[in-house]
Structure 1
Amino acid sequence: MSIEEKHDEDFTIFPNILDENLSSKKRKDLYRLPEWMSSLAKRFDSRQLQTETTISINQIDYLDEDIRSILINNLSIQYLFPVQSQVIPYLIQQNQSHSPIPLADICVSSPTGSGKTLAYVIPLLQCIRHRVIRAIRIIILLPVQDLAEQVYHVVNQIGNKLQLKTALLAGQQSFEDEQKILVKQQLNGSWTSSIDIIVCTPGRLVEHISRTSGFSLIHLRYLVIDEADRIIDEFKQDWLNILDNAVDLSSNLKNNFQPYMLSQSSLNRKIYQKLLFSATLTHNPEILQQLNLFHPILFSSSSSTSIIMPSTLRENFIICSITYKPLIIAYLIQNQLHSERIMIFVHSKKDVDRLSSLLKLLLPDNIKVSHISRKLPSKKIQTRLNMFEHGQIQILVCSDVLARGIDIPNIDCVILYDLPKNIRTYTHRIGRTARAGKLGRSITMVEKERLIMFRTTIKTYRRNKLKPMNIRKENFSFMLNDYQKALEIFSSQEQKKKLKQKK
């Protein structure tokens, strides 16, 4: 029996940008966005990802000819996406300006899978490629190791062709090996940089500033903060003060800039520009100002506080009992989703182990199931991701280790086994599918008693509406005996593990 879709009920996830404990007056004040986040923001339609509405690389005259060739021949990129066609020419034009006034910082809010990484990699590499002395001019900051590694490979693909050297500082190598890559000591005792671009995490950056002799940032021109909302949330901004000190720059110099300061010798130093990127960039200016932004300019795919998802994404939810959640997923995979490439998100490692074990017992042998969690060694994670990407694994059960930024091609469906705690988690989880203009689908499992919470706690304006899927018990009743056996086998396996641990 096929799954029916109801079309008579839509519901929208409402906004949660306000603290419930705020007074009504303060809530109203928060809605009074500054001009740079409202009337002066640069808007674009991120949903126009089809080739007939995007810009051909061959038609772009502001990119260097060899960079166009690299994009077409090495990266198989024929068109710029909307966020790229807005941000890239703006940054290149800024670089050509010889104004003594410091460059305005920029914030970019665009959906998952819309091409944000290349939106900064392409223009920044073009802007520094004609440097004479090798020195660190770009720092790209990511919140976690896996994302840093992914961005590093993108930068390296283009940078190598332009004779620009990139270093990854995120713990994949020992600290001592990273130091050897970064700097070299000359016979006269002076130090020279071996690197033009650093891709790193905040903690690793601070460690090198503190402990690596000859590590200099005085030539820094660009600081990219990717997944900016997560970096703001998870890291105290002490790293920024440490970075400013390393650049030999008081952050007050830039933020308190006045025209009369143009004649001051202190402004002869190059002041670096900050570039923030996120699919779920906060609209609270006070939070953004933790990063000491200078006359910021917002590029946004939305004209409000909405979070826009790709038009190619189909969003569904299923109201279900917690008792039957694994069984319903097994039923979906066999009877509705078939052999599609599916990623399933759960909250904890324990749930990852339980769900993946039950699915292996419930699904036929030709459907390969695997799992990923933070406790797995990075080599195993990468091996399983490669197998998933190449179709050797069809179902991948994982925790939020893969919820942000990781770009795995051709994921057909994302299932949220557990209800996300907030709109950002929801957005980044379902953002693993429908990337770069491709079709995708998300299905959220909602327990009956948490349906009201689903409507009220994820809370953000959404243009995309979610369609409920109706699965009745009679639909999967023929699988109940197998489900009971699977539960018994799993319980027995867990008991054996516990006995081994005691021994």
Structure 2
Amino acid sequence: MSVHDEDENENGEMSIIDNNLEMNNEDNGGGMEVEEEDDEPFTIIRNETDDTVKKKKYLYRLPEWMSTNAVLFNAGDLTNDDVDDQNEIEQLEYIDNDICSILVNDLSIRRLFPVQKQLIPYIIKQSKTITCVPPSDICVSSPTGTGKTLTYVIPLLQCIRHRITKSIQILIILPVQDLAEQVFNVISVFTKKLNLNAALICGGKYSFEFEQNLLLKKQLDGTYTCPVDIVVCTPGRLVEHLTKTHGFNLEHLRYLVIDEADRIIDEFKQDWLQILESSIFTRIHTNRIHPKDFQPSMMSLGNMRQNSYQKLLFSATLTHNPEILQQLNLFRPILFSDNKRTSSAVSVPSNLKEYYLVCNILYKPLTVAYLIQNQLHSERIIIFVHSKNDVNRLYSLLKILLPDQTKLTFISRHLNMKKIQTRLNLFENGQIQIIVCSDIMARGIDISNIDCVILYDLPRNIRTYIHRVGRTARAGKHGTSLTLVEKERLNLFRLNIKSKRGKKLKYMNVTKENYEHMFNDYQQALETFSQQQQHSSKKTRQKRHT
């Protein structure tokens, strides 16, 4: 096996593979869907006299706040060995002492990461600034695993802890329940000691009525009070409460955090945001003014801060499409971004080593087994596949192919959260070495010490790629990613992934000769798996008839 910087070696690998083998794409859904990218930072000047231009999709110039006015930082500067006394948590004067104590004693954090060093003092200083102008919204584009959650949790909790009105002041939106629970758990470490209350509103194990009781307390006079300062929720659940929970309102909201912003933009559009803003700015008993409609003569210095709220967007792959950004109604936004970002605003930690290899679809499970036994050894590995059926197939084959002492498990959407968490805990504690999983873990889930990520199926776009490889090389640690590319999809890979990563994504040359000594074992594994499937199908049919 060898590693190369240049793509020309791909053809050498392809000539070795037996081209006479019949390709079976049924398990992989046929040809890969090509998704149109939102991130298009170029300019095309329209010629009204040219009829052909109507058939083209227009591209746009980046907004000035994203191109020339961005605040840059080096997100790759994450090494834990680099001791800087001035960066020690206890030495930071702008963070309250008891919050510093929680960071050090409860979370074992002794230094801030680059994105945190930029944003935390900025947000705290901004909150103390008295001005007629509403605060500028903040967009943060930083690689996965660089501490984005604490980047907003620390300053925002400090900013509201001395609030006078007991009401919802921070609203944190995440795309899925898993991520909402993770962020809520982090916040809970602080709220217990800062006299603040947080609520998790995302469905799942809690009923809608239970959540209503968390959000509101009915008084003797029939009015409602809110005992909660921070709400962590998903967009859909938020809309349910805004439309169905009598008395629920956000009229005192100060901060709206949109975490994993690109996924929320892609999957939910912005209907939830329109409902949210409509609820805030059209409520009868509030005099709040939308920042877009702000005029200096409207507000006095004394009440400006109480009559507007600030948006904070966080993502590893922040869109550059101005039409999409416009839907978010950002007010004079400021971008904080990794200074190594590409034109499409994608970035990964500098301590991540990225590789890809070209393989035959028939030998993909065998290739993975070979890599685990001969290259990755005892490393802790996450393997991403597209579907639940593929998870089951690859897990079953690896269980047969790998030595008995290799501990592996699988995770997919059909498992309940309790089983998923149990398996994640076993993995994090070192009792399991390998997890085969679907996209359930592709974003945001923070597991320490993942050594390697294998992308068994080719990601559909660069965003999916970034979020999958971002499960490793987190918090300043080193990591490796391996992407398996079927030779039929090599052009799509070059177009959607390789062109965005350049020479950082290196070619690994693995040929049939490397794993041909495993062919007999592989054939037996395929036969065993086929028998297992037939037996499982037979049991299923018998259950249906009983």
TM-score (norm 1): 0.93
Q: How does 1:459-474 map to 2 (within 5 A)?
A: 461-462=500-501, 465-474=504-513
1:89 corresponding residue in structure 2 = 121
Q: Which moved more, 1:37-46 or 1:177-186?
A: 177-186
Q: Is the 8 A contact 2:39 2:321 kept in 1?
A: no
Paired residues, what number? 497
Q: 1:62 to 1:464 in 2, by over 3 A?
A: farther
SS in 2 for 1:275: strand
SS in 1 for 2:379: coil
- CA distance in 1 between partners of 2:509 and 2:306 (Å): 63
Q: 1:23 to 1:498 in 2, by over 3 A?
A: farther
2:183 corresponding residue in structure 1 = 151
Do residues 399 (structure 1) and 438 (structure 2) align? yes
- CA distance in 2 between partners of 1:249 and 1:264 (Å): 23
Q: What amino acid is aligned across from residue 347 of structure 2 in structure 1?
A: I
2:324 corresponding residue in structure 1 = 287
Q: 1:30 deviation in Å?
A: 3.8
Q: 1:269 to 1:309 in 2, by over 3 A?
A: closer
- CA distance in 1 between partners of 2:392 and 2:278 (Å): 45
Q: Is the 8 A contact 1:100 1:262 kept in 2?
A: yes
2:142 corresponding residue in structure 1 = 110
SS in 2 for 1:93: helix
Q: Is the 8 A contact 1:356 1:371 kept in 2?
A: yes
Q: 1:189 to 1:10 in 2, by over 3 A?
A: farther
The match for 1:47 among 68, 76, 80 is 76
Q: 1:304 deviation in Å?
A: 4.6
1:213 corresponding residue in structure 2 = 246
TM-score (norm 2): 0.86
- CA distance in 1 between partners of 2:462 and 2:295 (Å): 39
Q: Is the 8 A contact 1:16 1:460 kept in 2?
A: no
Q: 1:160 deviation in Å?
A: 1.4
Note the residue ranges of structure 2 that are not aligned, 5 or more in a row: 10-35, 47-52
2:272 corresponding residue in structure 1 = 239
Q: Is the 8 A contact 2:200 2:233 kept in 1?
A: yes
1:6 corresponding residue in structure 2 = 4
The match for 1:334 among 345, 348, 373 is 373
- CA distance in 2 between partners of 1:401 and 1:479 (Å): 31
- CA distance in 2 between partners of 1:29 and 1:45 (Å): 32
- CA distance in 1 between partners of 2:131 and 2:122 (Å): 15
Q: 1:28 deviation in Å?
A: 11
Q: Is the 8 A contact 1:308 1:464 kept in 2?
A: no
Do residues 169 (structure 1) and 226 (structure 2) align? no
Do residues 32 (structure 1) and 74 (structure 2) align? no
Q: How does 1:344-359 map to 2 (within 5 A)?
A: 344-359=383-398
- CA distance in 2 between partners of 1:249 and 1:260 (Å): 20
Do residues 445 (structure 1) and 477 (structure 2) align? no
Q: 1:28 to 1:34 in 2, by over 3 A?
A: farther
Q: What amino acid is aligned across from residue 253 of structure 2 in structure 1?
A: L
2:17 corresponding residue in structure 1 = none
Q: How does 1:293-308 map to 2 (within 5 A)?
A: 293-302=330-339, 304-305=342-343, 306-308=345-347
Q: Deviations over 1:26-81 (max 9, x none)?
A: 99974521211111110101011124376221221111111111111111111110
- CA distance in 1 between partners of 2:39 and 2:147 (Å): 29
Q: 1:10 to 1:41 in 2, by over 3 A?
A: farther
Q: What amino acid is aligned across from residue 256 of structure 1 in structure 2?
A: D
Q: Is the 8 A contact 1:16 1:458 kept in 2?
A: no
Q: Is the 8 A contact 2:384 2:457 kept in 1?
A: yes
Q: Is the 8 A contact 1:223 1:274 kept in 2?
A: yes
Q: Is the 8 A contact 2:139 2:313 kept in 1?
A: yes
Q: Deviations over 1:196-232 (max 9, x none)?
A: 1011000111111122233221111000000001101
Q: Is the 8 A contact 1:135 1:195 kept in 2?
A: yes
SS in 2 for 1:79: coil
Q: Is the 8 A contact 1:308 1:463 kept in 2?
A: no
Q: 1:18 to 1:105 in 2, by over 3 A?
A: closer
Q: 1:183 deviation in Å?
A: 1.5
Q: 1:460 deviation in Å?
A: 5.7
SS in 2 for 1:98: coil
- CA distance in 1 between partners of 2:273 and 2:103 (Å): 33
Q: Is the 8 A contact 1:16 1:459 kept in 2?
A: no
Q: What amino acid is aligned across from residue 323 of structure 1 in structure 2?
A: L
Q: Deviations over 1:283-322 (max 9, x none)?
A: 1122111111111110010365242211110101111101
1:272 corresponding residue in structure 2 = 309
Q: Is the 8 A contact 1:307 1:460 kept in 2?
A: no
Do residues 67 (structure 1) and 99 (structure 2) align? yes
Q: What amino acid is aligned across from residue 328 of structure 2 in structure 1?
A: L
Note the residue ranges of structure 1 that are not aligned, 5 or more in a row: none
Q: 1:460 to 1:476 in 2, by over 3 A?
A: closer
Q: 1:310 to 1:161 in 2, by over 3 A?
A: same
1:411 corresponding residue in structure 2 = 450
Q: 1:100 deviation in Å?
A: 2.1
Q: 1:404 deviation in Å?
A: 0.4
1:420 corresponding residue in structure 2 = 459
Q: Which moved more, 1:362-371 or 1:110-119?
A: 362-371
SS in 1 for 2:69: coil
2:15 corresponding residue in structure 1 = none
1:100 corresponding residue in structure 2 = 132
SS in 1 for 2:501: coil
Q: Which moved more, 1:464-473 or 1:488-497?
A: 464-473
The match for 1:202 among 228, 231, 235 is 235
2:361 corresponding residue in structure 1 = 322
1:80 corresponding residue in structure 2 = 112
Q: Percent identity, aligned pairs only?
A: 60
